[in-house]
């Protein structure tokens, strides 16, 4: 499956930390109605059976909108639910091994923090890169903030799309302009907000502004 920069424009990463009594599939649909262009299901607490059930529900929503849907880390769940692909971090499975399991037609996203990691991921079959953390973030406390210049160097070093991630909000997103990114990946800036649709719509418009040369 071919991935372009426009698919990265507003990349939403789910998080049930703020879910409460709400329904995750309904929240994802709110982001898609607002313009989200890519969805990653990220589940750290669910067992594989519950993860798979949730993945199938989310995939039914993304299918209706024709938006790419990937699973964070779990190749088994991704293959079982028919997701479009998987996103893996540097501490997870090696990109080349994941590509062998997925086959040539699924999407493979890889996290990268240096030019070397980015080039290696592309060489091993990555379709896009998640690069960060570009700002400090409460989602991953053990990740250092990536300098703007490194983000720009990574974007210039690879031919595949790059999505910036980590602490991105309506207040700081404009600082990423000129980096070469295809878009932004957001978690709390959408899912922790009282009006998910409005938050996603605003970030969609801001991302278009930031990625316009």
Catalogue the active-site residues: 42, 111, 140
Collect all residues with Cβ–Cβ distance below 8 Å to 21 and sequence separation of at least 6: none
Type and span of the H or E element at 20: none
Provide the b/e sequence for 47-58 (b: ≥16 CB within 10 Å): eeeebbebbebb
Q: What does the block give as tokens for 25? A: 């599939």
Angle at CA 206, nearest 5°, toward 89 and 35? 75
Q: If DSSP codes are grouped into helix, strand and coil, which group holds residue 28?
A: helix
Cβ proximity of 10 and 182 under 8 Å:
no
């Amino acid at each position: 499956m071919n991935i372009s920069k426009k698919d990265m424009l507003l990349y939403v990463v789910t998080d049930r930390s703020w879910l409460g009594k709400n329904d995750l599939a309904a929240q994802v649909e709110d982001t898609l109605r607002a313009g989200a262009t890519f969805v990653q299901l990220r589940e750290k607490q669910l067992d594989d059976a519950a993860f798979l059930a949730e993945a199938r529900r989310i995939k039914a929503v993304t299918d209706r909108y024709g938006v790419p849907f990937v699973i964070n880390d779990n190749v088994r769940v991704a293959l079982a639910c028919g997701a479009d692909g998987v996103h893996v971090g540097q501490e997870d499975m090696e990109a080349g091994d994941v590509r062998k399991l997925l086959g040539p037609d699924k999407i493979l996203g890889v996290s990268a923090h240096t030019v070397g990691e980015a080039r290696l991921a592309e060489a091993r079959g990555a379709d896009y890169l998640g690069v960060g953390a570009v700002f400090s973030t409460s989602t991953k406390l053990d990740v250092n903030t990536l300098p703007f210049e490194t983000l720009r160097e990574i974007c210039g070093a690879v031919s595949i799309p790059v999505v910036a991630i980590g602490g991105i909000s309506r207040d700081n997103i404009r600082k990423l302009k000129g980096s070469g990114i295809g878009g932004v990946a957001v978690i709390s800036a959408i899912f922790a907000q009282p009006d998910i649709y409005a938050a996603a719509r605003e970030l969609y418009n801001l991302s278009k502004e930031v990625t316009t040369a």
